[in-house]
A = this chain, B = another copy of it.
């Protein structure tokens, strides 16, 4: 027992350093993504290489690995949070160890080449330019599934588990089956109709300064703690942070698209609240930060869709928007604006999709990933497969690869198995929304003017745990059952039936 304490002590010394590297990664990426001058990147990368080497050395240190192994084998004898942390770390280290070192290094070099090649191919709109490199990326990931397979995880599941622990094709197949059978036919009905409302404001110029004011107002409505975070601008909105006390979000303002910045601000503030509302005791551990990509996305989508695309939300907050933009919104009612931000249309590009059609974009990617990792689809056939499947689900055919198979950067970065977490996030959000409504009237609570009651519920049921438990366990504690995609489909169909006046 004495010796276990010593091991724990040593482990904590390593962890202290690894946490510092985590901070370093956060602050340097934040700088590179929000303001570092273009010409500084080469020299900065060379400094960051030094720290990457040091951090790798630390992770691969025999003493450290031995420490983790000892604690893993004795995790019933240590506190719950550390036990979970050690379990996750142990599994990650095992996974890393199982990749042949030379293959790992070759792959890193491949990825360095892949991104510029992807950008070039996308610019020219020609998938064939990118196919040879993508083929190698897919090949590596197929091998990865073999190297990292365990008794319970094989094939594509190995990749899925990397991004969302314990969610496998079993869960995802059920999920996407429900979408395919129930949502696809409903979407076809919806998009056949045209929503009638006063859209005179669309395309007008909304001054960026005032958009910023409104986003700051919304951030305050959501009770974002400004003393422990900030909001800035960047090309693509994102959330980044360290611990519970330094959570930063970005927004991008388009003068002609006022709703873009608003929903970005809500979405990113949703991510930020998850981080800010964790238990502060997690700050010294590796369990600070969301439990998984899917659970994180469930929080941002919850605020973005379930809260900020609700009628009550705009009843309360449209007046302020009108105050800031009296000319642009002249004659526009809250009903018009509500319809505008909830219109559904089939479109080619995932990141521009609306709440209703969004999951179908993911479904298509999931199907493809399953097939190509299982060897049932070759990279050469990606473009053809994509366009056929897209036409089947959406009834429209991408005019070129730019808005088809080349639209997302994920595969070029080696992120295969990542996409499904996006749709999972929205579905978990719907399940949480259902549960929350059993306990109090959510729309009524937000008519009070801010989201504090919602925040408190999510804090107590999701946020406080950070990543000190697996996401499945956190969900079970919050809603009292396992993940069930039915809530999501019901929520979408009920909502859009009302908006589009569909009877059935």
Interface residues of A (CB under 8 A from B): 16-17, 19-20, 23-24, 27-28, 30-31, 35-40, 42-44, 47-48, 50-51, 54, 225-230, 232, 242-246, 248, 283
A425 vs chain B, min Cβ distance (A): 26
CA distance A501 to B42 in the complex (A): 54
Q: Which residues of B contact A39 (CB under 8 A)?
A: 225, 227-228, 245-246
Chain B residue with the shortest CB-CB distance to A50 = B20
Return the contact of A20 from the options B17, B51, B244 (Cβ within 8 A).
B51
A12 vs chain B, min Cβ distance (A): 12
Contact B246 A38, beta carbon cutoff 8 Å = no
Contact B245 A43, beta carbon cutoff 8 Å = yes
Chain B residue with the shortest CB-CB distance to A22 = B47
Contact B19 A243, beta carbon cutoff 8 Å = no
CA distance A42 to B245 in the complex (A): 9
Contact B283 A37, beta carbon cutoff 8 Å = no
Given A228-B40, A245-B42, is A47 in contact with B24 using a C-beta cutoff of 8 Å? yes
Contact B228 A37, beta carbon cutoff 8 Å = yes
CA distance A386 to B31 in the complex (A): 44
Number of copies of chain A assembled together:
2
A interface SS class: helix
Return the contact of A245 from the options B35, B40, B227, B283 (Cβ within 8 A).
B40
Contact B246 A44, beta carbon cutoff 8 Å = yes
A38 vs chain B, min Cβ distance (A): 5
Q: Which residues of B contact A51 (CB under 8 A)?
A: 20, 24
A29 vs chain B, min Cβ distance (A): 11
Given A38-B227, A51-B20, is A43 in contact with B232 using a C-beta cutoff of 8 Å? no
Given A39-B245, A40-B228, A246-B40, is A47 in contact with B28 using a C-beta cutoff of 8 Å? no
* Nearest 4 CB-CB pairings of A with B: A40-B246, A20-B50, A39-B228, A23-B47
Some 23 contacts from A to B, beta carbons below 8 A apart, are A16-B50, A17-B50, A19-B50, A23-B44, A24-B24, A27-B27, A27-B28, A31-B31, A35-B230, A37-B226, A37-B227, A37-B228, A37-B229, A37-B246, A38-B227, A39-B227, A39-B228, A39-B245, A39-B246, A40-B228, A44-B242, A44-B246, A47-B242
Q: Which of A19, A40, A246: most chain B Cβ within 10 A?
A: A40
Return the contact of A232 from the options B35, B44, B245 (Cβ within 8 A).
B35
Given A20-B51, A246-B43, is A31 in contact with B37 using a C-beta cutoff of 8 Å? no
Q: Which residues of B contact A16 (CB under 8 A)?
A: 50
Return the contact of A37 from the options B19, B42, B44, B245 (Cβ within 8 A).
B245
Return the contact of A43 from the options B36, B229, B242 (Cβ within 8 A).
B242
CA distance A216 to B138 in the complex (A): 48
Contact B31 A47, beta carbon cutoff 8 Å = no
CA distance A331 to B230 in the complex (A): 43
A216 vs chain B, min Cβ distance (A): 15
CA distance A20 to B40 in the complex (A): 14
CA distance A232 to B232 in the complex (A): 13
Contact B40 A31, beta carbon cutoff 8 Å = no
A246 vs chain B, min Cβ distance (A): 4
Q: Which residues of B contact A246 (CB under 8 A)?
A: 36-37, 39-40, 43-44
Q: Which of A17, A48, A227, A246: most chain B Cβ within 10 A?
A: A246
Chain B residue with the shortest CB-CB distance to A280 = B43
A291 vs chain B, min Cβ distance (A): 20
CA distance A156 to B48 in the complex (A): 40
Q: Which residues of B contact A229 (CB under 8 A)?
A: 37
For the A-B complex with A23-B47, A31-B31, A40-B242 known, give 10 more contacts whose Cβ atoms are closer than 8 Å. Answer: A27-B31, A30-B31, A37-B226, A37-B228, A37-B229, A38-B227, A39-B225, A43-B242, A43-B245, A44-B246
CA distance A42 to B19 in the complex (A): 14
CA distance A27 to B40 in the complex (A): 12
Q: Which residues of B contact A37 (CB under 8 A)?
A: 226-230, 245-246, 248
